[in-house]
Amino acid sequence: MTPPAATVPKLTADPTGRGGASGAAEPLDPAVAHAWTEIGLAAHLSVSAHAEFAAQLLRLSAPLSLLHGAARAMLEEGALAQRCLALADPDTESDVLLTPAPEAPARGTPRRDAEEVDVGAVVLTALRRGCIAATVDCVCAREALEHCRDAKSREVLTQLGCTRAREAQLAWRFLAWALRSAHHDLADQVRVTILTALRTQPKPVSPGAHERQLLRHGLLSSPQRAAIEQRVLRDIIVPCMEATLARATAARPTAA
């Protein structure tokens, strides 16, 4: 099993997704606007998370391809944040100003060596944010596309799915690289983290009128996302984990 493959979305030329000037846009349902705003703000914060990840990769002397992936993720999450916020508020300006994310260490702060980087913490964070959460987001976006009836929301969902698919692939590539030289205990922590996230599959719940309204705008309810998360963990994450751990074990030098 491999993480979802990413394809490049075809987006409209209008950065706000508003299309032609055919009059004022219809006001969104407040719940729809709030949901897209939350997704946009989460994407904005993800830029900071990927910047921190890139700095950690540098200190760990990671391959250049991983650094390129982290830099691309920062750009894509920034673009995604703008599209989501513009979707939530069609009257917003093309350049959305947000509260700055948490600042990086100030200049002049002593640089930590690779030995001071907690490799285990970086691996487990990448596992939760990238391997699991990004994969779940990608599959949720694809599932929401099947129900979405709003053209602008469909474009943003396509962009979201592609962005998170590439982030999931980046996280799995990092894990494969890091685990080759890591202690066996870290592999056990990876396995425990994933297996403890598995829960009893929730019973399907028929969507009500509110949930159907959200679906028409490409938004899943919490129970729907929870059900998809458990399915993704079983069908994608666990097989990827086993394959990654097996390759890492095979790549480790054998003791003399």
Amino acid present at 204: P
Domains of the chain: 30-96+117-248 (1.20.1260)
Three state DSSP letters for the chain? CCCCCCCCCCCCCCCCCCCCCCCCCCCCCHHHHHHHHHHHHHHHHHHHHHHHHHHHHHHCCCCHHHHHHHHHHHHHHHHHHHHHHHHHCCCCCCCCCCCCCCCCCCCCCCCCCHHHCCHHHHHHHHHHHHHHHHHHHHHHHHHHHCCCCCHHHHHHHHHHHHHHHHHHHHHHHHHHHHHCCCCHHHHHHHHHHHHHHCCCCCCCCCCCHHHHHHHHCCCCCHHHHHHHHHHHHHHHHHHHHHHHHHHHHHHCCCCC
With a pLDDT cut of 90, the percent of the chain lying above it is 61
pLDDT, tens digit, 9 for 90 and up, residues 152-206? 999 999 999 999 999 999 999 999 999 998 888 999 999 999 999 988 666 666 7
46-64 per-position pLDDT tens digit: 999 999 999 999 999 999 9
Give the per-residue pLDDT at 27: 61
What pLDDT does residue 16 have? Answer: 42
pTM for the whole thing? 0.80
pLDDT level of residue 37 (50, 70, 90 thresholds): very high
